Amino acid sequence: MISHTLNKWRTVLVAFVLVTVTACQQAPVTGRSQFILIPESQDASLGLSAYREILSKSEISRDQELNERVRRVGRRIAAVSQHPEYEWEFTVINDDNPNAFALPGGKVGVNTGLFKVAKNDDQLAAVMAHEVGHAIARHGSERVSQQMAVQLGLAGLGIAASTQTDNAAQYVHLAAQLATLGLVLPFSRNQESEADHIGLLYMAEAGYDPREAVNLWRNFEAFGGGRPPEFLSTHPSPGTRIQRLQSLMPEAYAIYQQRTGY
């Protein structure tokens, strides 16, 4: 029994090492090392499928002026990204929640509630550039890959703990909680910060004033709403984002000045 368990554990360990070695990539702009198991060639189909499902369950805005504004700003941002050739789509959804989302392959949704805090095109560009940054950095595929690795690790722990059946379930449950607090949530916050970084440079390159990204997050901070403590959230707090954006502003504003002459 013990020998059989050890063999299964070795199989899980070897599989984990192999996927770790073969799935290392680098994020654009920041150069951060990434762990992505999904081939880039599958991003478009996965993103399109998820996009269609979301839109089928949503109320699409019929405001032509608002949709055209979002498409115009989004396309201008996408044009300066590393992948302008993606089949970019930008859709406005009737939803009072001030939010937006990006899916693999360049599918972006923007809620009408966002315009409660995005007061001008430059602030809208900060959001659009952030979402384009998510798509370009393949954050969706990275999250899925990271969750797959966590599940593989938990499966291995379950095999290892199976020799102590009295505590096996408790070990796996505790490990899952620790993985969420220690890996999954911080990892997601890192992605958000990276998308802020990439997006700030994209919006500047596209000719939008990067200083408005700070004003956007000040608007979010003033908008309020209940938020969990930052260490339990998948997103940095507005104050943290503002500090980070301000530290990146000299680089972004230099790009903006070069691009616009202002």
Instruction: Provide the annotated active-site residues.
Output: 131
In total, the chain counts a number of residues equal to 262
Cα–Cα distance, 194 to 30 (Å, whole number): 7
Task: Give the H or E element holding residue 92.
Answer: strand 89-93
Encoded amino acid at 132, one letter: V
Cα–Cα distance, 143 to 180 (Å, whole number): 12
Cα–Cα distance, 19 to 149 (Å, whole number): 9
To 10 degrees, what angle do helices 64-78 and 185-205 make?
90
Nearest to 217 by CA among 87, 127, 110, 95: 127
Kindly give the residue spans of alpha helices, DSSP state H, lying in the chain: 2-22, 43-56, 64-78, 121-136, 139-161, 168-179, 185-205, 211-223, 238-260
